[in-house]
A = this chain, B = another copy of it.
């Protein structure tokens, strides 16, 4: 709902083409579609630069499919996160070109591949086990019109592995760093580059990792000043925020 929308409604009303109560209602009832169990937010693309994404967790397959159908009509690219291969079976019946990404547990539709970014987004992981979360970030960033560089398994205990990628990192417009356990890699990367770093804690670890809490706290306390943080295992959010930073 931006100011020009409001002005348009006001002008139409002034011109007498819509009566007062209808104009008032329009101003209140902005562009979402109520399908009972969900209010599908068709204005989000305008507001945020990308259509609504379906968060699969806690929804029935019927709900996911219902929302998917509504969104598919209006948006070329679309993501369903935290879902299952069972749901993918049903989605495919609706749209056969949907992709299934096993490690990221994500369904993806890409119909528009325009490059919208200033530069490249790098996505690194500290370990092999962090790849699924990082992959969710990379797939999201691609769907939002970015070129993505992947660098897996470059954790700090073998520091030369990430040092060896310094040049590629420094040439990125933004870097996403996924790490579990102690979550130290974003601080090291943050110190190497002059661009924003998005730290992406993963739940990889055991014992006192407390399902990613150790990594999360480490990243929040990073001594590198260019680091901001997203939720544990929130690859989607990291990819989304990186895309906006990289947006022309």
Contact = CB atoms under 8 A, between A and B. Distances in A.
Nearest to A212: B207
Contacts of A193: 47-48
A241 B233 CA distance: 21
Interface stretch (A68-76, A88-96, A106-114, A123-131): A123-131
A3 B152 contact: no
Interface string A219-238: 11111111111111110111
Contact of A153 (B39, B154, B214): B39
Which range holds the interface residue count of chain A?
35 or more
Centre residue among A128, A194, A227 by max chain B CB count within 10 A: A128
A217 B210 contact: yes
A61 interface: no
Contacts of A213: 208, 217
B49 A182 contact: no
Centre residue among A207, A212, A226 by max chain B CB count within 10 A: A207
Interface of A: 1-3, 6-7, 10-11, 13-14, 20-21, 23-24, 27-32, 36-39, 41, 43-44, 47-50, 53, 55, 57-59, 63, 67, 82, 126-131, 152-161, 163-164, 166-167, 170, 181-184, 187-188, 190-196, 198, 201, 203-234, 236-238, 240-241, 244-245, 247
4 A-B pairs closest in CB distance: A207-B232, A58-B129, A184-B184, A228-B228
